[in-house]
Amino acid sequence: MNPNTTFVVVANSNVEVPTASSISAWLEPYGVQLSDLQVLQIQNYLGILVFWNHKFNLTSVEDPQEIVSRHFGESFFCAKFMPAEKSRLADVGSGAGFPGLALKIVRPDTEVFLIEQDTRKAAFLNEVARTLHLESVKVLRTHYETLNPDFGDFDAVIARAIGNHKTLLRWASPRLSPSGRVILLLGLEDATKLTHLKDWHWSQPHPMPQSSKRVIIVGNVTK
């Protein structure tokens, strides 16, 4: 991290976070243009994350610049693969809210469902959504495979480091809208294996900025 970076204190958490100019510079490789409000939301989100992370293990990444780049930057990069219009998004295994809750900052018109079975992480997600005044965000404290069948018709299902991708795809297939898609953040080797699965049409892997190993792939159910 640049030793000349200055910090500000986020009132809601009493935690020092990077300044707006530092955050904007760190996110530049991800091709996102942020308003002053969005940068402030990132600062508050980051402050809450650092504060909670002192008590609970929400993320192993502790350096502020790496959090902004690895968590927020990669989440925001996913926005280019989202439907252009207002949509319903399910983030499976949301954890600390990446990518789903972070995506809500740059796509505020999206209705977001955060599926997270860990009680403390679910509480954290609710706290961030409340503090940032993010509307149309619902935290579902359950494992995705036991989610009520009434939740579906998603325009996008997104997951990061979920593990068993084949199980996720079987779950997602009947829950997608007719034009719905699955967006996966994963390693290149895993992405290559998935592109050979039948019943799915996959995009070419999209390299993640600032990474030589992580990619994004987008899949649609074949008709």
Task: Give the pLDDT confidence score for residue 10 in this predicted structure.
Answer: 59
pLDDT at site 6: 53
CATH superfamily placement of domain 78-221? Vaccinia Virus protein VP39 (3.40.50.150)
Percent residues over pLDDT 70 in the chain: 93
pLDDT digits (tens, 9 = 90+) for 112-145: 999 999 999 999 999 999 999 999 999 999 999 9
Evaluate if residue 163 carries a pLDDT over 90: no
The pTM assigned to this predicted structure is 0.92
- Is the bond into 3 cis (omega within 30 degrees of 0)? no
Domain boundaries defined on the chain: 7-72, 78-221
* 20-24, 45-49, 60-64: the lowest-pLDDT one: 60-64
- The reported pLDDT for the residue numbered 106 is 97
Predicted pLDDT of residue 16: 86
Which segments within the chain are labelled E, that is strand? Answer: 7-10, 15-18, 88-92, 111-115, 137-140, 154-160, 176-187, 200-202, 206-207, 214-221
